[in-house]
Amino acid sequence: VARLLDTSTVGCLPAVSQALSAGLLVDTGTGRFRFTHGLVRTVLAADTPLQQAVVLHVRAAQALEDLHRDGLAHVSADIARHWAAVAITGERRPAVDWARRAAEDAARALAYEEAARLYASALTHGGAALTAGERAGLLLAQAGVNVAAGRFTEAFGACRQAVELAEDAGRTDLVAAAALTLDAVGDNSWDRTVQGWCVRALDALGENEAPLRARLLARLAETRFYSGDVTGADTPAASALTLAE
């Protein structure tokens, strides 16, 4: 709080004491305080002028980064939230970078739905600051955590958007990433779509990219098999095995 108000810790104590007496804050007993009810925070936030709120969000983000430098994974989502509130000013890059970092932290903690939400925040607040390739990359990352969370429809939709952006940007590497993000599921439309991505990515691969070619051939064989083209799966499966060996 002192960092937000650009004052000393001691200088904050009278206001904290008044808030405690008024029943707006409660002492948690660990040297920390919290609002007695979420509505208190909501009302205070709503009554804060936009310009002042933006300044406070910037200071809060910077203070959290400074105070938790050795454990940023624990506060990265909070930092991302503050920078997201600042994006309205046009300063979008911190919102994107911190949302991405927080999403990666959440995914490492197996909080896949939270990671998907944070990738969505990066996409939303990035706006024009994101190139087509970067937006596609974020969508693929979001698709990956959605797969891990069992949200397959959302993952498929994100991959389709990513492929459209990647093709416009000439990023066949991202088309390959989309193909490798989604397993075959036995749905004709799904599997044929992934097949198409495999073929387009394979056509663009150089001869020195054997590991990626092997993975794409294996995925192509898998999608053909699950879509009922068992014979058509034989050739890419054999080629993948040869490259892998």
Kindly state the average pLDDT of the residues 6-10. 74
pLDDT at residue 6 is higher than 80:
no
Q: Which pLDDT belongs to residue 52?
A: 87
Kindly state the average pLDDT of the residues 11-38. 83
**26: β partners:** 34
Q: Which pLDDT belongs to residue 28?
A: 87
Burial of 22 (0-12, 13-18, 19+ CB in 10 A): exposed
More confident residue, 176 or 44: 176
Strand blocks (E) in the chain: 25-27, 33-35
Query: Tens digits of per-residue pLDDT, 134-192?
Result: 999 999 999 999 999 999 999 999 999 999 999 999 999 999 999 999 999 999 999 99
pLDDT at residue 20 is higher than 90:
no
Q: How many alpha carbons fall within 13 Å on the CB side of residue 105?
A: 17
Q: Which pLDDT belongs to residue 34?
A: 85
Joined tokens for residue 136: 């596609």
Q: For the packed helices 172-181 and 152-168, what is the interaxial angle rounded to 10 degrees? A: 170
- Residue pair 36/24 in contact (Cβ under 8 Å)? The answer is yes
Q: Which of 162, 190, 183, 186 is nearest to 174 (CA)?
A: 162
Q: Which of 214, 177, 173, 169 is nearest to 194 (CA)?
A: 177
Block residue for tokens 């387009």: 200
pLDDT at residue 97 is higher than 80:
yes
Q: Which pLDDT belongs to residue 45?
A: 80
Q: How high does pLDDT run on average in the chain?
A: 92
Q: Which pLDDT belongs to residue 46?
A: 86
| pTM as predicted | 0.87
Block residue for tokens 């699950």: 226
Kindly state the average pLDDT of the residues 14-32. 83
Query: Tens digits of per-residue pLDDT, 184-238?
Result: 999 999 999 999 999 999 999 887 889 999 999 999 999 999 988 999 999 999 9
More confident residue, 50 or 177: 177
Q: Looking at residue 31, what DSSP letter applies?
A: S
Share of the chain above pLDDT 90, in %: 69
pLDDT at residue 3 is higher than 80:
no
Strand blocks (E) in 75-117: none
Q: Which pLDDT belongs to residue 125?
A: 95
Q: How many alpha carbons fall within 13 Å on the CB side of residue 77?
A: 15
Query: Tens digits of per-residue pLDDT, 69-80?
Result: 899 999 999 999
Q: Which pLDDT belongs to residue 81?
A: 96
